[in-house]
A and B are shown apart, each in its own frame.
Chain A
Amino acid sequence: MCNACGNPAAPGHWTEAGAASPGDRLRARFHRAALLNSVLKPYGLTAHDGGVVPGIQLGTLSGAQTIVHNLEEVWDEAARLAGQPIDPLDPRYLGDD
C-alpha cells in the first residue's frame, strides 16, 4: 500500500484476476477504461484511466470530474452524475421499451 495516498487498499480488485503480469494488468486497465467509456456514453458520462494515477476518472459532458478507485465506486458515482442508476437489467437498456 502506498503510504501517501493509501492505494491500493486491497490486494488486486477481483476484476483483475484474469491478468497475471504487471503488463497484462496495465493493458487490462486501459481496455477496461475504454469499455467503461463506451458503456457510460449513453448516460452522458466519460471514463478515463491514464494508467499513472490509481483510479478511474469519471467526467460529465459539462466538465465535472471525479476520481474513483474501484468499480463499485464507479457505479455509485455514475448513478449520481447521471441522475439514474446504471442497471443492466433495466428494460430501457435491454431495448424492451
Chain B
Amino acid sequence: MTDTRLRLTILGGYLGSGKTTWLRHQLHVGAFGSQVHVVVNEAAEVPVDDVLLIGAEGMTLLAGGCCCCAGRDDLIAALRGLCDARSRLSADQPRLQRIVLETSGLADPGAIVAAIQGDPVLINHIVVDETIVAVDALHALAQLATEPLGRRQVGAADRLVLTKTDACETSALDTLRATLATLNGHATMSAAVLGEPMSLPPLSSDVGPFALPALSDEDARGPIQPTQVAIPDGMDWSAFTLWLSALLHARGEDLVRVKGVVRTPAGRLLLQTVRKVVQSPEILPEREDGKGDDSNDNRIVFIGRGYRPPDLARSLNRFLGLPPPKPQ
C-alpha cells in the first residue's frame, strides 16, 4: 500500500538565518516539485516574507504568533484547511503533494512536529518528511553560544543548510561545522549562497569544535551528547518498541532525538523521534546484495543528556533479557 498522505517539510532556523532566501530559490528551481503549497509563519504582526515567495502552487501566511506556541491553533487550522481541500479532489486528479512550512525564527521545530502528530485529523493526512534548518554561517556560533533556542533548532534538524558561506572565512566555517556536528551528529550538512548550492570541502580532522558554554537552562543535566547503541541481531521488535516507548515517556524531555535503521521481519525500518514524538516508521527499500552500505543498520543514535550514556545499552539488553553489553 502506498502512503498517499501529504508530505510536510519543515524549514526552520534562527532569525535572519536565510530561510526565505533559500526557500525562494528552491521554489524557483522546483526542488520541491510542482504541487507544493507554502505556509509561512511570522512571529511579527507585519508580514514581509510573503511577497518574496513566488513559484509555489499556493501560499498561506500565518502572521502574529509563532506557530510552535502562540500561533499553534492557527497553524493546525490552516493545515486542516489544506487537507480538506485536497480530500475533495479524487486521487487521479493533480492534487497537492507537499507542504513546505517556513517557521518563524523563534520556532522550535520539535514542538511543531509534536503539534501535528497530536492532532487526530492531521495525523491521518500529513506525514512529516524532513526538517531542514538554515544556519547562518556568519552569526551562528555567537547565537549557539548564548541561545538555547538556536541549539534546539540545530538538534531537531535532518538537514542543515549553511547560508552566507561566501562571506565567511574557511577557518571559521570549519569550526562552525565541527561545532554543529557535536550538536547534531546525524544531520547532513550542505551550503548555499542566496539559495544556490555550494560545495563544502571535506572537513579536516584537526579542526576542533568551538567550546559552547553551558546555558542556564541546561545546568545540571550536562551537555547534549550523542550515544550509539548497537541493536542485537534478531532482536524482538515488540520488546524493543516497549522499551523505547517507556524510555521516551520517562526521559522524553532529555532525549532530543533518536534516529536509526532497525532490521525487522518486515524490512528495514527508519526510526526517528523528536523529543517524545515518534514519527511513523518508514520501511526503507532493501538493498541489493553486496551493493550499498548497510553497515549503519541496526545502530541507533540517541542524542540527549541527563543520563550516563552506557546505561542506554545496558537497559536495552536487560529489557530484552540479554547479558549486559561489553564496554566499548
Interface of B is mostly: helix
Q: Given A18-B264, A93-B315 in contact, is the A36-B242 Cβ separation under 8 Å? A: yes
A65 within 8 A of B: no
Residues of chain A within 8 A of B311, CB atoms compared:
89, 94
User: Of B77-85, B186-194, B207-215, B279-287, which stretch is located at the interface?
Assistant: B279-287
Interface size class of B (residues with CB under 8 A): 20 to 34
B301 within 8 A of A: no
**Whole-angstrom distance between the Cβ of A57 and the nearest chain B Cβ:** 16
Q: Given A17-B281, A18-B265 in contact, is the A94-B250 Cβ separation under 8 Å? A: no
B-contact bits for A44-85, CB 8 A (1 contact / 0 none): 000000000000000000000000000110111000000001
Residues of chain B within 8 A of A12, CB atoms compared:
280
Residues B250 and A17 in contact, CB atoms below 8 Å apart: no
Residues B247 and A89 in contact, CB atoms below 8 Å apart: yes
Residues of chain A within 8 A of B123, CB atoms compared:
9-11
A-contact bits for B268-302, CB 8 A (1 contact / 0 none): 01000000101111010000000000000000000
Residues B307 and A14 in contact, CB atoms below 8 Å apart: no
Please, how many angstroms separate the alpha-carbon atoms of A10 and B243 in the complex? 21
Please, how many angstroms separate the alpha-carbon atoms of A90 and B239 in the complex? 18
Residues A75 and B249 in contact, CB atoms below 8 Å apart: yes
Residues A9 and B120 in contact, CB atoms below 8 Å apart: yes
User: Looking at the complex, which one of B251, B266, B279, B315 makes contact with A19 (CB distance below 8 Å)?
Assistant: B266
Q: Given A88-B315, A93-B318, A94-B315 in contact, is the A15-B242 Cβ separation under 8 Å? A: yes
Residues B249 and A76 in contact, CB atoms below 8 Å apart: yes
Query: Total interface residues on A, using CB and 8 Å?
Result: 30
Residues A28 and B246 in contact, CB atoms below 8 Å apart: no
Residues of chain B within 8 A of A86, CB atoms compared:
246, 249-250
Residues of chain A within 8 A of B283, CB atoms compared:
17
Within 286-328 of B, Cβ neighbours of A (below 8 Å) are at: 307, 311-312, 314-316, 318-319
Residues B241 and A75 in contact, CB atoms below 8 Å apart: no
Please, how many angstroms separate the alpha-carbon atoms of A17 and B123 in the complex? 15
Residues A18 and B242 in contact, CB atoms below 8 Å apart: no
Residues A18 and B250 in contact, CB atoms below 8 Å apart: no
Residues of chain A within 8 A of B281, CB atoms compared:
14, 17
A2 within 8 A of B: no
Within 224-264 of B, Cβ neighbours of A (below 8 Å) are at: 236-239, 241-243, 245-247, 249-251, 264
Residues B242 and A32 in contact, CB atoms below 8 Å apart: yes
B124 within 8 A of A: yes
**Whole-angstrom distance between the Cβ of B133 and the nearest chain A Cβ:** 23
Residues B238 and A32 in contact, CB atoms below 8 Å apart: yes
Residues B250 and A35 in contact, CB atoms below 8 Å apart: no
Residues of chain A within 8 A of B312, CB atoms compared:
89
Please, how many angstroms separate the alpha-carbon atoms of A14 and B279 in the complex? 7
7 nearest A-B pairs in the assembled complex, by CB-CB distance: A15-B241, A87-B250, A75-B249, A17-B281, A18-B264, A71-B245, A18-B237
Known A75-B249, A89-B247, A94-B314; 10 more pairs at CB < 8 Å:
A9-B123, A14-B241, A15-B245, A17-B281, A19-B266, A39-B242, A75-B246, A86-B246, A88-B315, A93-B315
What are 11 residue pairs bridging A and B, where the CB atoms are less than 8 Å apart in the complex? A17-B269, A18-B237, A32-B241, A35-B242, A86-B249, A87-B251, A88-B243, A88-B247, A89-B311, A89-B312, A94-B311
